[in-house]
Amino acid sequence: MRLEYTERQKKFRAEVREWMTANVPKQALSSFDTQEGFEQHRAWEAKLHEGRWSAVTWPKELGGRSCDLIDWLIFEEEYWRAGAPLRVNQNGVFLLAPTLMEYGTDEQKARFLPRMAAGADIWAQGWSEPGAGSDMAAIRTKAILTSDSQGDHYVINGQKTWSTRAVYADWCFGLFRTDPDSSRHHGLTFILLPLNLPGISIRPIKQLNGLPGFAEIFFDNVRVPVANRLGAEGQGWNVAMATAGFERGLMLRSPARFQKTAQNLVALYQRHREHADRDPSIRDAVLKSWMDAEAYALSTYQTASRLVRGGHIGPEASTNKIFWSELDLLMHETAMRILGARGELMPEAPEAAESAPWLDGFLFAQAGPIYAGSNEIQRNIIAERMLGLPRA
């Protein structure tokens, strides 16, 4: 055990810090759930790419820096420390890319990854369907393999929903039922497709904050070339589980994000301490927030160290999801309690400068225990796969 950074790691951190200091926009970008903000964030992805920071864990030849997970944690710490923007291409860079690298052909990697790293293609995900939320194996949208004069292609019919980023994104990945007689986990295939194909229509879904953070995607005889299939026909569930594993586990939520929030919460508390101390539960929640953010960071460093040494993530990844989502709620609820009657102000209100980011985070935190496998599902996984309790 060595809980100090190497000289190389320290130099890497210094390099990130220097670049971020010079390049992070001074003015916060608009939300990427607006057209304007989306393009601002796309430009930021391109800027990151210029500095070779858009996908640091990718191999160098694909525009990354071949960072290991410890480097990635350092990068994330500096990224959040600098107050850099949210990553509009998270679905692509963090979720799809590892799957593409594992299951994609060389042609597919060359075709998709460089454009993804550069922010040229922003990706949406297409997992859920109206009848398939927590129960993802209930997918019904069909993609039927067809041959004609233009070659082999899938014809897709059906509907996806809760597709994050889909309102403005360029591409989408998801699972489709290629064997119409199959059921549950069988007969599904992982397919990549551009969102501007004929037959696709997109209906934005407004979130709590009024912005369209996700969308329904309707498919009406949409033709997708067979070359857009990732992995083998009918093997989609296995391919997708790799992605879902990344989403649930280490990769989706870097500890730096929560540590930054905890730090901001301490500062908020300090500014309002005289009032806040009249309710002792506030101070206690502030201390707990810092401790839990720190614990989450330590846990992540420990997991990363294990992975660097060749270990694997098991069902204990489900504990991550529960921990960070409850921590995120705790921190934002506490902030709202400190802000009191100012917490309700919309971002455009003249006196909302201090409170608006907290309200936005508070609303977003509500989704934490729901998306990427609800916390109830995660608790089932822990009980059944980690503790070995019998299924119902």
Partner 1 sequence: MDFTFTEDQLSLSDAIHKFLMVEAAPELLREIWETESGRSAEMRAKLADQGLTALSVPEAYGGMGLGDLDWVLIQQELGYYAIPDSLTATAYLAVYLSKALPEDSKLKAHWLPKIADGSARVAVGHPINPFVADAANASLLLLWHADELHALRPEEATLTLNASIDSSRRLYRVQWTPSDKTRVCGAEQGRELWQGVINRAGVAISAQLLGLAQRMLDLGTDYAAQRKQFGKPIGSFQAVKHHLADVAVKIEFARPVVQRAAQSLATGHPRAGLHVSHARLVAGEAARLAARKSIQVHGAMGYTWEADLQMFMKRAWALDATWGDAIFHKARIADFVLAEGAALGPAETFTH
Dihedral pair phi/psi, residue 308, rounded to 5°: -60, -35
User: In sequence order, which residues have a C-beta less than 8 Å from that of residue 271 and are 6 or more positions away?
Assistant: none
Query: Could you say which of a copy of itself, partner 1, none residue 295 binds, taking C-beta under 5 to 8 angstroms by partner kind?
Result: partner 1
Question: CA-to-CA distance for 10 and 6, rounded, in angstroms?
Answer: 6
The neighbouring-strand residues paired with 214 are 164, 205
Considering beta carbons, is residue 152 or 279 the nearer one to a copy of itself? 279
Considering beta carbons, is residue 146 or 281 the nearer one to a copy of itself? 281
Q: Checking DSSP bridges between strand 171-177 and strand 123-126, what pairing results, if any?
A: parallel
Angle in degrees, CA 359, 356, 284, rounded to 5: 55
- Active-site positions? 247
Dihedral pair phi/psi, residue 287, rounded to 5°: -65, -45
Q: What minimum distance in Å lies between the beta carbon of 278 and a copy of itself?
A: 11
Considering beta carbons, is residue 128 or 228 the nearer one to partner 1? 128
326 half-sphere exposure, CB direction, 13 A CA radius: 13
Residue 204 belongs to what H/E stretch?
A: strand 200-205
Query: Could you say which of partner 1, a copy of itself, none residue 359 binds, taking C-beta under 5 to 8 angstroms by partner kind?
Result: partner 1
Residue 219 belongs to what H/E stretch?
A: strand 214-225
User: Around Cβ 210, how many Cβ atoms within 10 Å?
Assistant: 10
134 lies in the site for a copy of itself, by CB under 8 A = no
Q: What minimum distance in Å lies between the beta carbon of 338 and partner 1?
A: 8
* String of DSSP letters for 147-164: EETTEEEEEEEEEEEEEE
Query: Could you say which of a copy of itself, partner 1, none residue 46 binds, taking C-beta under 5 to 8 angstroms by partner kind?
Result: none
Q: What minimum distance in Å lies between the beta carbon of 178 and a copy of itself?
A: 34
Question: CA-to-CA distance for 327 and 76, rounded, in angstroms?
Answer: 18
159 half-sphere exposure, CB direction, 13 A CA radius: 11
Q: What minimum distance in Å lies between the beta carbon of 170 and partner 1?
A: 23
Query: Could you say which of a copy of itself, partner 1, none residue 120 binds, taking C-beta under 5 to 8 angstroms by partner kind?
Result: none
Q: In this chain, which of 26, 27, 274, 280 binds a copy of itself, going by CB under 8 A?
A: 280
Considering beta carbons, is residue 198 or 280 the nearer one to a copy of itself? 280
Considering beta carbons, is residue 192 or 282 the nearer one to a copy of itself? 282
Interface with a copy of itself in residues 282-341 (CB under 8 A): 282-284, 287
Query: Could you say which of partner 1, a copy of itself, none residue 3 binds, taking C-beta under 5 to 8 angstroms by partner kind?
Result: partner 1
Site string for a copy of itself, 250-279 (x = CB under 8 A): -----------------------------x
Rounded (10°) angle between helices 280-308 and 317-339: 150
Considering beta carbons, is residue 102 or 277 the nearer one to partner 1? 277
Dihedral pair phi/psi, residue 108, rounded to 5°: -65, -40
358 half-sphere exposure, CB direction, 13 A CA radius: 28
Q: Are 244 and 91 contacting, i.e. CB atoms less than 8 angstroms apart? A: no
Interface with a copy of itself in residues 362-391 (CB under 8 A): none
Interface with a copy of itself in residues 166-195 (CB under 8 A): none
Q: Are 82 and 76 contacting, i.e. CB atoms less than 8 angstroms apart? A: no
281 lies in the site for a copy of itself, by CB under 8 A = yes
Among the listed ranges 35-43, 165-173, 281-289, 345-353, the one in contact with a copy of itself (CB under 8 A) is 281-289
Q: What minimum distance in Å lies between the beta carbon of 142 and partner 1?
A: 20
Separation in Å, CA 101 to CA 109, 282, 284, 303: 7, 46, 45, 22
Q: What minimum distance in Å lies between the beta carbon of 392 and a copy of itself?
A: 8
Query: Could you say which of a copy of itself, partner 1, none residue 70 binds, taking C-beta under 5 to 8 angstroms by partner kind?
Result: partner 1
Considering beta carbons, is residue 2 or 278 the nearer one to a copy of itself? 278
Given the rule CB under 8 A, which residues bind a copy of itself? 279-284, 287
